Structure 1
C-alpha cells in the first residue's frame, strides 16, 4: 500500500507526542521524496543532517537526539540510517504506516492524483555521481539537468561547467568517490552568490593582505590558546590571579589592540600559556 503526505500527517497529529516532536515530524515529512529518484532518494525517504534539523527546530543537538528517540519509540516508528559514510547526511523514513488494518483514508488508491505523487514539474536527479569520472560536465549526463535546475535557483547566471567543477571540488575535498545524484541538486540549492557577480572556480586563489606587525603579534598570542578551550583557560586563570585581575588584563588588551572582547580574552589566555601560568 502506498501512502500520501496527508496520510502520514494524519498519523502525526493522531500520535501522542510532545509539541516539539510533532514539529520535528512535520519537518521530516516535508522533506520526503514522493517520486522514486527525486533528489536521488527512494520514494518515502527524506535526507537531513542533524545540524540542519537542529537549526530548523531551534534546539540543541542533545535535545534533537531526544526528540528523534521519541519519534522512533512512538507509533510513527521513525527510522534513520547513514549508508554513505560518517560525514554523509542521515536518511529518514516513517515506519509502521502500511499495516493491513489501516483505515481506507490512510492509504493511497490507484486513482490518487495528489500533486506530491503526480507532479510532472519535478527535476529528477536519479542514480549516483562518480566524482572522479571527469571534469567536463558536457561529457556527462548531468549538464542538461544542471541547466534546467539552475533556472530557478540562486546560481541561475553561473556557467554550468563552473557549477560542476565546484561540486566536484567540494566532494573531492571530503574524500567522496561517489555520491547520490540528489546531492548535486542540494549543492545547487545552497549556492551563495551575489546577483551579477562574476563566478569563479572554488579553487581559484584569493589574494591575501599582508599582516601588520601588530596583527602578527595578536595572532601569535591567540594561537597559544585555542578558542575551543577558552572556558577552561578562563576558569584556571581566574583561580590563579582572581576575577578582578583577569578582567583588568582583558581591558588592557582591548585598549592596546582595539579588538573585541572575545579576541581580547584569547590573547589574555595565550599570554598566560606562554608565561607558564596555565597549561595549554
Structure 2
C-alpha cells in the first residue's frame, strides 16, 4: 500500500492508521505501537520521508488543553530552550491536530536518542542544568492554563502508588518481612499524607509545570542530554517548580538496592548542581 496508514502492525488500532492519512509524510514503510506511557498512546511511524511519532491524546483531554500544550511547546522553542522537544507538524489542511472517533491525534518528528535509567555524575549535572534552564523560562513566561492550583505535595500519585503496591502484596500467597512492614507502615503513612498542611507554602508562585520529568522522558545521545518529552501535564497542572524536582526524586533517584527508597546522596548532589543555575529560597529547599 502506498498511502499513509498502510503497511502497519495489526496491533495498531484502525483509527491510528486512518489518522496518519491527515499528514503528507510520504509512503508508510513501518509503524508500531510504542509500549511506553500509561495515559497517552504513541505510535512510531517510518515513511519514505522520515521517522515520526503519532500521539493519541488521553480520552479525557479537551481541544483547549491540547492547544495550550502545543502553544507551550512553541513558547519554549521561541525562547531558545536548548533541548529538543516535540514540534507538531501541520496536517495537509494546516491544522496541528485532528479529532477521530472522539480522540485527538497529533504528529511530530521522531527525536533520536536513548533513555537512561541510571544517572552518573555527568548525567546528574546535565539534568540539573536542563531543569533549571526550563524553570527559568517558565517562570518568566506568563503562560496560564486557567486551571486551579495543584496539590503542592503531589499526594494523589504517591497515595496511588502506595495503594497499588499494597494491593500487589496482598494478592500474593506469601509476603516477606519487608512486605509485611510496608503494609503496616503504609496504613500509618496514608492519614499523615492526607493531613499535610499546605498553608506555610501557599505563597509559593505556581506555574504550568511539566510535572513528570523522569528517566523515561529524557532523551540522551552519546552521553549528552538532548531532549525532553511528554508535556501533557502543562495544560492541567499548576504548581511550584520544586514539584518537578520532587517528582524527579521519586523516579530518578531511587536507591539501587531498595526499590522504594530515595538515594539521599544523589538527591543532595542534584540540588547542589541545580542551585548553580537557579536560585532557591530556604523554604523551597526545606520542601
Report TM bin, short chain: under 0.3
TM-score, normalising length from structure 1? 0.23
- Greater share of strand: 2
TM-score, normalising length: structure 2: 0.22
